[in-house]
Amino acid sequence: MSALGATILEVVFALLSAACFIYVLFKLGQEKGGGHALLGFLFPVYPYLWGWVNGRRLEMLDIMGFWTVITLFSVAFPALMASASLSAYTLP
């Protein structure tokens, strides 16, 4: 895969993750108020954990699962691309 293709894929992962974050942050604000939404904006792990804890009650387990998968892909993908580019080079 070219560097441009890898960059585009990473941007897509980031946009999908941001969309999930905004959705959960909006739900957090509806449930607990603006102070908690601001806290969630400043500390993104808070809405992530809150979303998993309250996902069944708010019927958003599919969003949380998707957010988790996208986050794992966005973390693992650059490492996989780096290892693939290193394996392309051989020592004489």
User: Does pLDDT of 59 surpass 90?
Assistant: yes
**What are the structure tokens assigned to 92, written together?**
């004489």
What are the residues whose beta carbons fall under 8 Å from the beta carbon of 6, sequence distance 6 or more? 77, 78, 81
Q: How high is the pLDDT of residue 86?
A: 61
Q: How high is the pLDDT of residue 39?
A: 96
Average pLDDT for the chain: 88
Report the largest interatomic distance among the alpha carbons of the chain, rounded to a whole angstrom: 63
Ordered by start, the domain boundaries in the chain are 25-77
Closest CA to 3 of 90, 91, 84: 84
User: Does pLDDT of 91 surpass 90?
Assistant: no
pTM of the model: 0.82
